[in-house]
Structure 1
Amino acid sequence: MKKELPLIILSLFSAIPAVANQQSDSKGLIDDSHLNLFFRNAYINRDYHNGMQDKAEWGQGAVATFQSGYTEGPVGFGIDGIAQYAVRLDGGRGRSGAGGIDFFKQGNDGGRAKSNLAKFGATAKMRISNTVLSYGNQRPALPIITADSSRLLLESYTGTMLTSNEIAGLEINAGYFTDEQRKSDDRHNSGLKSLSFGGASYQFNDRFSGAAYASDVKDVLNKQYLGMNVNQPFGSNQKMVLDFNGYNSRLDPDYARKLDTGRSNTIWSLAASYIWDVHTFKLAYQQSSGSTGYHYGGYRNADGTGDGGNTIWLANSYWSDFNGEDERSWQASYGLDFSAMGLPGLSWTTAYVRGDNIKTAETSNGKEHEWFNQIQYQVQNGPAKDLTLRLRYSVLRVSSNASDYNVGGDEIRAFVEYPFNAF
């Protein structure tokens, strides 16, 4: 049996489809390089309904990203760069400072927000076959750590990251970061000590995929993620999509004491989407359990976790994330693609989410509900091709006995985005 085992392992690996060697196809450092420009005009207004100061910020941002190719040979080397600039158009003293908006960081005394931002970063990279090792400015988009790109400028990290695609359908990621740069600030002082992570996603076939990841934020928490997606077609222009996402977290004792909360949380969601031509109908259920709610994002020097502002790959995450302690929530949503009506590029989504059973210091059955609406148009051709206009309106209401968990109000988001490929 001992002699047979290596042969069995070898036969299994030989049966796994490999992918073409990307490094052997390298055209060189310059010939494979790209420069992309991205312009974003963003406005968010939050009208709170509990006497809090309303918040609003408006800004114009520009992001230039350069990606070099790789030098030729068995081992390729390259370098990437990013430059970000933003100017504040509105949101001065008294109106800026909402953690959920965070276009321009306020002064340490809570005073006037920054009037402009300029940020720069670079990344050195090395590629062998289909495996890339990089160090420098990183913007991961993984379920266990997703740098926030949904506001004006981009959140980023500094550190080392490995991405491997040696086997068809399998992607392996691992990293160790020692710094996080806030999306609304140009300094590197958000308080992160270190963050390590690793995991993989695998496309088993054209209908089923899965992913598993784990991370550890020093002195804060460790977290595990499991995700699965099933795509089942039903005849012409119809299919059912099942999407499961789940996190298990455990807080560091000192961090939990500082927040005056428990240490453990498990949260998961299951969404079923029925897509029929231009219509998408979705139902979802989400459940949080444990001695605390689900913690993610924020910045270490503001008692946040520091693991990425979009690290919540759950179905019921809109304005509210429905992630309170012991909270359970249900969603019904509908989406319409107007292309069949002669308006390609125009889409509309509406969703209603209701949560209850929220545990706070006052109750074990706090409630919240949100009505979400978004209309989006993307220019399909011409000089303004890919220009996107997006208008979003949310109505969130939270019961008074859950006010220490969340706050309700009305929110408007208006974004105009234009990506441009220079070369």
Structure 2
Amino acid sequence: MLNKRIGVLALGVLSATQVMAQSQADSKGFVEDSHLTLNLRNAYINRDYKDTPSSAQDPAEWGQAFMGTFSSGFTQGTVGVGVDAFGYYAVRLDGGKGRSGAGGIDFFKQGDSGQAADDLARFGAAVKARISNTVIKYGDQQPALPVLSYDNGRLLPESFTGTYITSQEIENLEVVAGRFTSEVRKSATGHDSGGLKSINVWGAKYKFNDAFSAAYYAADNEDSGKKQYVNLNYVFALPQDQSLTLDFNGYKTKLDRDYAAADDARDNKIWSLAATWAVGIHSFTLAHQRSSGETGYDYGGYKSAGSYGDGGNSIYLANSYWSDFNGKDERSWQVAYGVDLSGLVLPGLSYKTAYVRGTNIDDGVHDGRGEEREIFSQLTYVVQSGPAKDLSLRLRNSFLRVSEDAKGYNREGNETRIFVDYPINVF
């Protein structure tokens, strides 16, 4: 999963002050600050698993989505109020019976017959209020925190229902707290389709200066477990258009007894440290990730399907692509290269490739001898001007290979993703 990668949290911390700095005193009004956007997304994912019979069809889904998002401004006065809303509609273009149903794709949920739905529609809204630099929102939302992060890497995104507070009363400090009581599965419509009971989240991020930022978040997921997260990010400015970024991410998880596969397999600690050297249009990354404890790092999925249920993107770790390299006792190394091809080939064109190798995997059967490796590549193009301005094309591919003594942990195969997004700013 590449929705959160090396440096993304750092960018979020550095920009949070600007994004949320507007106080209630600066409100222009409910209508004057309103925005409506429409995103047209065409998405395709194919997974060629190597452990399935040659006669079986590869899991694959293809669909077209129409996603409208409305965000009002806040009314003027001491307390400003507003409304956020979204409406989604998706049509299945391919991936019917025999090809749909892969948990990692999940564009359209299968019915009792095994046939995927032909289409689906979803609507949601939230009311919000602002006092000074503090905003409270209740309703359907899409939180993006390391311990509760919605997945927007498929055809339609997930959403959660609950109460969420963000406060930035102190300069460079953002504090958050929330409670969510239901989750909408990305391939379904019902508010209880994810099976979430409740999850409480809280935390803060602070920008010490232009170079150093830090964050801490925690969550208590009912009948799943408790999770803590920490991030430290430092950017060394170097001469001649260069920089070196060090990014540390770490999780500590304690699973509930009723959720853990075994009573003594409840604890996990996992961390990653990435160093990225940027020079001109090039970036070079070296990262190490390590998991320890009685079990691997658990996240995402849906409670209704027996999974953890904290959002499909709740893994802010360096070595997370198709595989997350998060097995029990797994240790992994990554080397990656990225280049901005705007000035060489075409404005808006960029490319990234990475190689990750994981070892020491304990799949519960072979006592820590398992290995896996992944070659990842992604080509991205964003139209820079004209009628199709901001239209993006993303071509992504992964080759994942897993040793025989780690097959209880992961499946090997080849994955292809093709995403076309066309955002339209209506007003």
Q: TM-score, normalised by structure 1?
A: 0.93
Highest CA radius of gyration, 1 or 2? Answer: 1
Q: Which residue of 1 aligns with 2:280?
A: 277
Unpaired stretches in structure 1, ≥5 consecutive residues = 1-16
Which whole-Å deviations, capped at 9, do the CAs of 1:346-398 have from their partners, x for residues lacking one? 00100000001000122111000000010010001111111000101110000
Give SS of 1:255's match: coil
Equivalent of 2:303, from 287, 300, 303?
300
Deviations 1:324-345 (A, max 9, x none): 0000000001001112315221
User: Is residue 133 from structure 1 mapped to residue 136 from structure 2 by the alignment?
Assistant: yes
- Post-superposition offset of 1:260: 7.7
Greater relative contact order: 1 or 2 (C-alpha under 8 angstroms, separation 6 or more)?
Answer: 2
1:93 match: 97
Percent identical among aligned pairs is 59
SS of residue matched to 1:24 = helix
Structure 2 unaligned blocks of 5 or more = 1-16
Residue by residue over 1:147-190, the C-alpha shift from the partner in whole angstroms, topping out at 9 and shown as x without a partner, is 11111101000000001111221111110000000011011222
| Structure 1 equivalent of residue 363 of structure 2 | 360
User: Are 2:417 and 1:413 equivalent residues in the alignment?
Assistant: yes
1:375 aligns with one of 375, 379, 390: 379
C-alpha contact 2:229 2:252 (8 A) present in aligned 1: yes
Letter in 1 for 2:50: H
Matched, 1:243 2:238: no
The residue number in structure 2 matching 1:316 is: 319
Quote the Cα distance in structure 1 between the aligned partners of 2:42 and 2:89: 12
Query: Whole-Å Cα distance in 1 between the matches of residues 103 and 21 of structure 2?
Result: 45
Out of 183, 187, 196, the residue aligned to residue 190 of structure 2 is 187
1:9 counterpart residue number: none
Q: Which runs of 4+ in 1 moved over 4 A?
A: 17-21
Shift in Å, 1:20: 6.3
Give 3-state SS (helix, strand or coil) of 2:52's partner: coil
Q: Tell me the TM-score normalised to structure 2 length.
A: 0.93
Q: Which amino acid is the alignment partner of residue 32 of structure 1?
A: D
Give the conservation status (yes or no) of the 8 Å contact 1:293–1:326.
yes
Q: Secondary structure at the match of 1:301?
A: helix
The number of aligned residues is: 405
Q: Which residue of structure 2 lines up, in the alignment, with residue 207 of structure 1?
A: 211
Aligned residue in 1 for 2:292: 289
| Aligned residues of 1:177 and 1:196 also touching (Cα < 8 A) | yes
2:321 is aligned with 1:337: no
Residue 261 of structure 1 contacts residue 292 of structure 1 at CA under 8 Å; is this kept in 2? no
Q: Counterparts of 1:87 and 1:20 in 2: how far apart (Å)?
A: 39
Aligned to 1:265: 268
1:111 paired residue among 96, 114, 133: 114
Task: Indicate the RMSD between aligned Cα atoms, in angstroms.
Answer: 1.5
SS at match of 2:258: helix
Distance 1:148 1:83 in 2: 17
**2:141 is aligned with what amino acid?**
Q
- Offset at residue 21 of structure 1 (A): 5.8
Aligned residues of 2:257 and 2:263 also touching (Cα < 8 A): no
Q: Aligned-pair distance for 1:27?
A: 1.1
Deviations 1:243-264 (A, max 9, x none): 110000000011114x787100
Q: Given residue 422 of structure 2, which amino acid in structure 1 is its aligned partner?
A: Y
Q: Quote the residue 1:49 is aligned against.
A: 50
The answer as to whether partners of 2:44 and 2:417 remain within 8 angstroms in 1 is yes
